[in-house]
Amino acid sequence: MSQTVTAARPDAVELLIADHRTVEQLFQQLELASKTSAVENQRDLAQRLVRDLSVHAAAEEQVLYPTLRRSLDEGDRLADEGVAEHAELKQLLADLDSAQPGDDRFFPGFRRVMEIVRAHVAEEEATVLPRLRQALGQDALYELAEALFNAKRLAPTRPHPHAPTRPSANIVVGAATSFTDRTRDVIRDTPMFRSR
Ligand SMILES: [Fe+2]
């Protein structure tokens, strides 16, 4: 957890770790906000978490996991574990996507999301990313960063628990759902369309 991202051009490992730090900051802000009555702030943080986690999960499924399968001895097992964790996470996020801060399920749901994500991050940073760094050269890690960056640009911003997790289908489905999600984001972020 102590690695700092300083490079102007991050490689894939640095990019994923930076994502993890951003999400952890959002968790901490949501924890703090849960102790206040700042409902608008709670809702904004929750929406950012759903968006960031959905994008991160999709990019890992489209780019990171196929690379693990190709490059690491135990890559299939590691990728399968990641897909299973994402499935639980995306189902939870889909349930929470319509929840409001006043709902009974809102904070318990996000606390469960935090548990799953923190375990996923710990495993990825302790085992998966160091092995990936060892297996790929620095050039390949830069190329992988580029692919992750592009996947994130096209990724759906909402959780789609039933979408395929393998890249060939994911990219097509991802592009379609991404367009719909991003249109919904714009509408939802427009003040007159906010639900309350
Ligand atoms: Fe991750």
Do you know the residue count of the chain?
Answer: 196
Cα 196 to ligand 1 centre (Å) = 32
Q: How far apart are CA 190 and CA 170, in angstroms?
A: 29
CA of 153 to the centre of ligand 1 (A): 16
Higher pLDDT, 23 or 181: 23
Q: What is the per-residue pLDDT for 98?
A: 84
Q: How far is the CA of 62 from the centre of ligand 1 (A)?
A: 12
Q: Looking at residues 153-161, what average pLDDT do you find? A: 80
Q: Which two tokens stand for residue 83?
A: 């897909």
The answer, yes or no, to whether residue 174 has pLDDT greater than 70, is no
Gyration radius (Cα) of the chain, Å: 17
CA of 183 to the centre of ligand 1 (A): 25
Report pLDDT for 37: 83
**In 3D, which of 147, 131, 123 has the Cα closest to residue 63?**
147
* 7 φ/ψ angles, rounded to the nearest 5 degrees: -65, 140
- Interval 51-97: pLDDT, tens: 999 999 999 999 999 999 999 999 999 999 999 999 999 999 999 98
C-alpha 70 to ligand 1 mean position (Å): 18
Distance CA 53, CA 159 (A): 8
Distance CA 90, CA 87 (A): 5
Q: Across residues 13-27, what is the average pLDDT? A: 96
Residue 139 C-alpha to ligand 1 middle, in angstroms?
A: 21
Question: Ligand 1 center to residue 18 CA distance, Å?
Answer: 10
Q: Separation of 194 CA from ligand 1 center, angstroms?
A: 30
User: Terminus-to-terminus CA distance in the chain, angstroms?
Assistant: 37
Per residue in 100-141, pLDDT (tens digit) is 998 999 999 999 999 999 999 999 999 999 999 999 989 999
Nearest-5° Cα angle at 161, 87 to 154: 105
Q: Ligand 1 centre and the CA of 124: distance in Å?
A: 6
Nearest to 64 by CA among 159, 152, 194: 152
Q: Given this model, what pLDDT does residue 102 score?
A: 86
One-character DSSP codes across 114-165: HHHHHHHHHHIIIIIHHHHHHHS-HHHHHHHHHHHHHHHHHS-SS--TTS--
What is the pLDDT, as a whole number, of residue 157?
A: 79
Ligand 1 centroid to 89 CA: how many Å? 12
